[in-house]
């Protein structure tokens, strides 16, 4: 089954304590679409300006991403400049230029209106709603958001929550949305706002999935070296949704595994600047990492015939 991804297609300038990279391919939709493309056919809905480099379009094409929903308009592409602090746990936005995405509310080509999986990557909730309203009877709709929209577009976001199956957000955003410090209580309150599934990302501490089948706690892959975490959240939602689409739509049965696949792809994303590490991935490497994560969380070890005498 295929996935429609909408969000920002951006130029990102990223500064970490160790390096600085200008105008990389970025944006929530770029990261999510490439991550999902390892599992399922993807259609990208986004807008780029006339400063968007041709090799970045090629990168989408190399991942077989359908670009009939990618519009080019005169003007600047969405631009974001972010800077990380020493331990990379905190980041600051230095500049955001909306450019051609400002007030952009496209009419989708007819074939895109029939996509079964809809991934509303982080962007203005009004745009997320506008896209979703054009899709005929989607099978699964998942949305991401950020603190900015909680601050300046809360009503649109609340309207969106009533129409989606799953919301993915980070722990501070979950607390901000509900004004509740206790995360399990905050999650319960988010369910009451609409989504059947709530997935809370906790960075290096993994993720929590909540749905009708109770809670699932997923570990993050313990990386020893972090190059650039930009796009990790988008890769997470992309890997998760792509995996679900590949499994053919039985959401409840596959969602726990999908969360682990999302975590695996997100961990690769952090190992390179922008999309550098993600774009080189393949399914085999993703599966190997999922197996590693599985080993990290297994607590019933297989019985050994002999124990090492030194450990008796
Ligand atoms: P993440 O690290 O997963 O939060 O996502 C980082 C990506 O989000 C970058 O590639 C940015 O281009 C993009 N981004 C930054 N600010 C915004 C915004 N206000 N709306 C949508 N996308 C954004």
**CA dist., res. 292 & res. 222, Å (int):** 10
Which pLDDT score is estimated for 308?
A: 55
Structure tokens at 171: 């722990």
Which pLDDT score is estimated for 312?
A: 46
Q: How far is CA 230 from CA 133, 198, 234, 267, 277, in A?
A: 29, 22, 9, 11, 12
Average pLDDT (50-66) is 98
**pLDDT tens digits for 186-235?**
999 999 999 999 999 998 899 999 999 889 999 999 999 999 999 999 99
**pLDDT tens digits for 10-43?**
999 999 998 999 999 999 999 999 999 999 999 9
Among 34-38, 106-110, 246-250, which stretch is predicted with the lowest mean pLDDT? 246-250
Confidence class for position 7, pLDDT limits 50, 70, 90: very high
Q: Which residues line the pocket of ligand 1, CB cutoff 6 A?
A: 8, 10, 12, 26-28, 80, 96, 122-123, 148, 230-234
User: For a substitution probing ligand 1, which of 15, 22, 28 has the most ligand atoms within 8 Å of its CB?
Assistant: 28
**pLDDT tens digits for 130-143?**
999 999 999 999 99
**pLDDT tens digits for 63-99?**
999 999 999 999 999 999 999 998 887 899 999 999 9
Is the Cβ–Cβ distance between 221 and 264 less than 8 Å?
A: yes
Q: Is 275 helix (H, G, I), strand (E, B) or coil?
A: coil
Confidence class for position 310, pLDDT limits 50, 70, 90: low
- Report the separation in Å between the CA atom of 231 and the middle of ligand 1, taken as the mean of its atom positions: 7
The set of residues, in sequence order, having a beta carbon less than 8 Å from that of 132 and lying 6+ positions away, is 118, 120, 138, 141, 160, 163, 164
CATH of range 3-298; options 3.40.50.300, 2.40.50.100, 3.40.1190.20, 1.20.1640.10? 3.40.1190.20
Q: Has residue 169 got a pLDDT over 70? A: yes
Query: What percent of the chain shows pLDDT beyond 70?
Result: 97
User: For a substitution probing ligand 1, which of 24, 59, 122, 220 has the most ligand atoms within 8 Å of its CB?
Assistant: 122
Q: Has residue 298 got a pLDDT over 50? A: yes
User: For a substitution probing ligand 1, which of 27, 30, 95, 149 has the most ligand atoms within 8 Å of its CB?
Assistant: 27
197-201, strands of its sheet edge to edge: 66-72, 42-48, 3-6, 117-120, 140-144, 166-170, 197-201, 207-211, 214-218
Which atom of ligand 1 is nearest the CA belonging to 232?
3
- Report the separation in Å between the CA atom of 10 and the middle of ligand 1, taken as the mean of its atom positions: 8
Q: What is the mean pLDDT of the chain?
A: 95
Q: Has residue 170 got a pLDDT over 90? A: yes
pTM, two decimal places: 0.95
Which pLDDT score is estimated for 311?
A: 52
């Amino acid at each position: 089954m295929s996935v429609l991804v909408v969000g920002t297609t951006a130029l990102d300038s990223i500064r970490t304590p160790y390096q600085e990279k200008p105008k990389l391919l970025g944006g929530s939709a770029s990261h999510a679409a490439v991550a999902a493309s390892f599992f399922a056919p993807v259609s990208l809905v986004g807008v780029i300006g006339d400063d968007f480099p041709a090799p970045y379009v090629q990168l989408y094409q190399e991942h077989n991403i359908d670009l009939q929903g990618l519009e080019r308009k005169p003007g600047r592409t969405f631009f974001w400049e972010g800077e990380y602090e020493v331990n990379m746990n905190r980041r600051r936005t230095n500049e955001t230029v909306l450019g051609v995405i400002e007030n952009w509310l496209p009419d989708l080509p007819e074939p895109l209106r029939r996509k079964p999986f809809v991934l509303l990557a982080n962007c203005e909730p009004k745009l997320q709603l506008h896209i979703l309203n054009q899709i005929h009877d989607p099978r699964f709709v998942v949305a991401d958001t950020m603190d900015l929209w909680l601050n300046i577009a809360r009503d649109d976001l609340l309207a969106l929550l009533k129409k989606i199956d799953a919301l993915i957000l980070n722990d501070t955003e979950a607390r901000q949305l509900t004004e509740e410090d206790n995360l399990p209580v905050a999650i319960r309150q988010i369910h009451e706002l609409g989504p059947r599934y709530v997935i809370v990302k906790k960075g290096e501490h993994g993720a929590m999935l909540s749905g009708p089948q109770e809670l699932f706690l997923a570990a993050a892959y313990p990386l020893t070296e972090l190059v650039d975490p930009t796009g990790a959240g988008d890769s997470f939602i992309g890997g998760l949704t792509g995996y679900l689409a590949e499994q053919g739509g039985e959401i409840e049965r596959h969602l726990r595994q999908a969360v682990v696949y999302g975590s695996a792809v997100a961990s690769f994303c952090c190992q390179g600047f922008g999309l550098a590490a993600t774009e080189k991935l393949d399914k085999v490497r993703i599966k190997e990492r999922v197996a590693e994560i599985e080993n990290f969380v297994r607590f019933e070890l297989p019985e050994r015939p002999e124990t090492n005498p030194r450990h008796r």
